[in-house]
Amino acid sequence: MKRQRFERDERLSFWRSFFYEFNMIFLIIFINGAGFVFLYDAVLKNELGTYVKYACLIAYLLAGCFISSVLVYLARVRGQSIMMQNLCKAAQKVAAGDFTVRLDVYKDKKRKTEIDILKEDFNTMVTELASTEKLKDNFVADVSHEIKTPLSIIQGYADLLQTSGISERQRSEYIKLISEQINKLTNLVTNILKLNKIESQEIVCKEKFSLDEQMRFCILSLEDKINEKSIEIEANLDEVVINSDPALLELVWNNLFSNAVKFTDQGGKITLSLSNQGNVVIATIKDTGCGMSEETRKHIFDKFYQGDTSHSQDGNGLGLALVDKVVNLLDGEILVSSHLNKGSEFKIVLENV
**What would the pLDDT profile of 260-289 be if each residue is shown by its tens digit?**
998 888 999 999 999 988 889 999 999 988
Mean pLDDT: which of 79-83, 294-298, 338-342 is highest?
338-342
Which pLDDT belongs to residue 6? 44
Q: Is residue 295 in a domain?
A: yes
**What would the pLDDT profile of 320-338 be if each residue is shown by its tens digit?**
888 888 888 888 899 999 8
Sort strands 207-210 and 241-244 into parallel, antiparallel or unpaired: antiparallel
What CATH number is given to the structural domain containing 303? 3.30.565.10
Q: Could you tell me which residue, 202 or 103, shows the higher pLDDT?
A: 103
**Average pLDDT of 251-268?**
89
3-state secondary structure of 286: strand
Q: Give the type of residue at 338.
A: S
Q: How far apart are CA 281 and CA 327, in angstroms?
A: 13
Domain boundary among 98, 117, 148: 98
Q: How far apart are CA 248 and CA 245, in angstroms?
A: 6
Q: Could you tell me which residue, 186 or 40, shows the higher pLDDT?
A: 186
Q: Which pLDDT band, with edges at 50, 70 and 90, does 214 fall under?
A: very high
Domain boundary among 75, 98, 121: 98
Per-residue 3-state assignment (H helix, E strand, C coil) for 318-349: CHHHHHHHHHHHCCCEEEEEEECCCEEEEEEE
Residues 218 and 86 in one domain: no
Q: How far apart are CA 96 and CA 128, in angstroms?
A: 16
Of 208, 298, 197, 289, whose CA–CA distance to 251 is shortest? 197
Which pLDDT belongs to residue 213? 93
- Whole-number Cα distances in Å, 169 to 101, 150, 156, 161, 176: 62, 22, 17, 11, 11
Q: Is residue 39 in a domain?
A: yes
- Give the sign of the dihedral formed by CA 274, CA 280, CA 242, CA 197: negative
- Give the sign of the dihedral formed by CA 83, CA 86, CA 90, CA 95: positive
Q: Is residue 133 in a domain?
A: no
Q: Is residue 116 in a domain?
A: no
**Sheet of 269-277, strand order:** 232-237, 269-277, 280-287, 343-351, 333-339
Q: Which pLDDT band, with edges at 50, 70 and 90, does 37 fall under?
A: low
Taking a C-beta distance cutoff of 8 angstroms, is the pair 100, 131 a contact? no
Torsion of CA 167, 173, 179, 180, to 10 degrees: -160
Q: How many CB atoms lie within 10 A of CB 289?
A: 22
Q: Is residue 65 in a domain?
A: yes
- Give the sign of the dihedral formed by CA 25, CA 26, CA 31, CA 35: positive
- Domain span at residue 328 reads 207-351
Poorest-pLDDT segment among 8-17, 159-168, 190-199, 326-335: 8-17
Enumerate the H helices of 162-263 as residue ranges.
168-200, 211-220, 223-228, 246-263
If you count them, how many residues does the chain have? 353
Domain boundary among 98, 115, 137: 98
Q: Could you tell me which residue, 249 or 299, shows the higher pLDDT?
A: 249
Q: Is residue 212 in a domain?
A: yes
Poorest-pLDDT segment among 18-27, 224-233, 291-300: 18-27
Q: How far apart are CA 31 and CA 33, in angstroms?
A: 5
Of the chain, the end-to-end C-alpha distance in Å amounts to 28
Q: Which pLDDT band, with edges at 50, 70 and 90, does 211 fall under?
A: very high
Q: How far apart are CA 144 and CA 165, in angstroms?
A: 34
The kind and range of the H/E element at 26 are helix 14-45
Q: Is residue 118 in a domain?
A: no
Of 298, 182, 315, 193, whose CA–CA distance to 254 is shortest? 315
Taking a C-beta distance cutoff of 8 angstroms, is the pair 244, 280 a contact? no
Q: How many domains does the chain have?
A: 2
Q: Is residue 304 in a domain?
A: yes
